Amino acid sequence: MDANLEEQSVGGYGRIDPIYMRKAVYYPSPEMPGTIVVDVQNRFLYFVEGSGRAIRYGIGVGRQGFSWSGTATVRDKQEWPDWYPPKEMIERKPELMRQVSVLQSGLGVPGGATNPLGARALYLWQGNKDTLYRIHGTNEPWTIGTNVSSGCIRMLNKDVVDLYQRTQVGAKVVVLASGGRAATAVSAAPTTTGMSAQPPGTWQRR
């Protein structure tokens, strides 16, 4: 499925503000290289490289994305993850029952091109507690750079694959409550790349 990521998003990129396309930026940060910083207010995610540099990605932010801030770690990550909508979401949107089937962890939507979690997902925990906060791909690329009705942090599928490859399990993630430094773009060509892990919990926000 990875080989078809560009084809899956054809038509979507044209509606994205170019500022939200992936690029290398000047981003002085006290965080160690390998840290992820999520700026929900400005709809950017930074992968800190050190020496004042970072890779900046555009993101779409759902209401759950605004509901939590702080520091966490990447407990797990998964390729083409299954999505398990919470019971309350199924009650609110009974039409979801047409999409779900019985999977290994309950009623869910199997991973694939039509799955709301997209090509990859990173699962954020604080100690032994699941924050229910996810960084994941999307099958709606035109929503990048916007506030969306549901979910946490969504990225273009090709970008979440790139982030997934760069990020180690155990990496630190800082989710900013508000504000966030502006970063200055420097010349760099986007790159894309792909590992697998079981989701740590049964119910997932998206």
The yes-or-no answer on residue 136 being catalytic is yes
Residue 142 forms part of a structural domain: yes
Residue 206 forms part of a structural domain: no
From the centroid of its chain, how far is CA 192?
15
Considering the entire predicted model, what is its pTM? 0.81
String of DSSP letters for 117-159: TTTEEEEEEETTEEEEEEEE--S-GGGTTSB-SS-SEE--HHH
Catalytic residue among 61, 109, 152, 160: 152
Residue 151 forms part of a structural domain: yes
Residue 129 forms part of a structural domain: yes
Residue 66 forms part of a structural domain: yes
The yes-or-no answer on residue 152 being catalytic is yes
Check residue 178 and report its DSSP letter: S
CA atoms within 13 A on the CB side of 168: 8
Tens-digit pLDDT string for the chain (206 aa): 666 665 555 455 668 899 999 999 999 999 999 999 999 999 999 999 999 999 999 999 987 777 788 999 999 999 999 988 877 778 888 887 888 888 888 888 888 888 889 999 999 999 999 988 899 999 899 999 998 867 789 999 999 999 999 999 999 999 998 655 545 555 433 333 332 233 443 345 55
Provide the domain limits for residue 181.
2-185
Residue 39 forms part of a structural domain: yes
| Spatial contact of 192 and 158, defined as CB atoms under 8 Å apart | yes
Opening angle at CA 11, ends 144 and 98, nearest 5: 75
Residue 50 forms part of a structural domain: yes
Residue 136 forms part of a structural domain: yes
- CATH number of the domain within which 149 lies: 2.40.440.10
- CB atoms < 10 A from the CB of 4, how many? 10
Count the domains in the chain. Answer: 1
* Close Cβ partners of 206 (under 8 Å, ≥ 6 residues apart): 62, 83, 85, 116, 117, 134, 136, 150, 151, 152, 154
Q: What is the pLDDT of residue 14?
A: 63
Query: What's the CA gap between 90 and 162, in Å, rounded?
Result: 31
